[in-house]
């Protein structure tokens, strides 16, 4: 079974509807959180108590293990702290830091007309969701010797939102 996919089984349709707030079909799909799909099936076996305990345990595990949503609007709001040094969009120019258009898939240290530190140019990093999220937590730890004077973002949701916002811009500054 792929990660993020749950199958919940109930003895009656009424219990399934009450537990998952689903439609009145024999099998109903409902998104829980962002990446967790709940496949509700009505069965004639299983004791009521066991169903309740299992459903509760699965929902708790799903809530704890599901990946946080990426919210572009929240990312844009969070990017305001980045705007002091960086820009994105069709009129983006280098500032204290490079413009970030086309960041997804770009080799670190290659934004045109920006003077990078040797550490950044020689880092070998290619920007993607994983490298960005690691870097933004603690830039100096990921690239020792970088000129970047930023303590980092520690909140996972904010990091995901920032990536959603920044990664939507193509190299020419238009949105994907």
pLDDT in tens, 101-120: 999 999 999 999 999 999 99
Higher pLDDT, 14 or 141: 141
From residue 153, alpha-carbon distances to 5, 79, 133 in Å are 30, 11, 9
The residues, any chain, with a CB within 8 Å of residue 52's CB and separated by 6 or more, are none
Tokens of 162: 């920032």
- For the record, the structure tokens of 115 come out as 């003077």
The per-residue pLDDT for range 86-99, each reduced to its tens digit, is 999 999 999 999 99
pLDDT in tens, 33-62: 444 344 444 444 444 444 444 554 454 444
pLDDT band of residue 12 (cuts 50, 70, 90) is low
> CA neighbours within 13 Å on the CB side: how many for 164?
17
Q: Has residue 68 got a pLDDT over 70?
A: no
pTM exceeding the 0.85 threshold for the entire prediction:
no
Domains of the chain, by residue range, sit at 5-65, 72-166
- Sign (positive or negative) of CA dihedral 120, 121, 122, 123: positive
CATH topology classification for 72-166: Cytochrome Bc1 Complex; Chain D, domain 2 (1.10.760)
């Amino acid at each position: 079974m792929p990660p993020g996919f749950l199958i919940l089984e109930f003895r009656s349709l009424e219990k399934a509807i009450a537990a998952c707030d689903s439609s009145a079909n024999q099998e109903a799909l409902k998104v829980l959180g962002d990446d967790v799909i709940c496949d509700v099936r009505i069965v004639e076996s299983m004791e009521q108590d066991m169903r309740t305990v299992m459903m509760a345990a699965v929902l708790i595990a799903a809530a704890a293990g599901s990946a946080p949503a990426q919210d572009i609007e929240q990312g844009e709001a969070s990017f305001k702290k980045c705007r002091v040094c960086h820009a994105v969009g069709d009129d983006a120019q280098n500032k204290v830091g490079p413009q970030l258009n086309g960041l997804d898939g770009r080799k670190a240290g290659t934004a045109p007309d920006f003077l990078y530190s040797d550490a950044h140019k020689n880092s070998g990093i290619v920007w993607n969701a994983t490298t960005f999220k690691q870097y933004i937590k603690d830039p100096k730890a990921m690239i020792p010797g970088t000129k970047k004077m930023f303590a980092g973002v520690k909140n996972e949701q904010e990091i995901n939102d920032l990536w959603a916002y920044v990664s939507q811009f193509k190299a020419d500054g238009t949105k994907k």
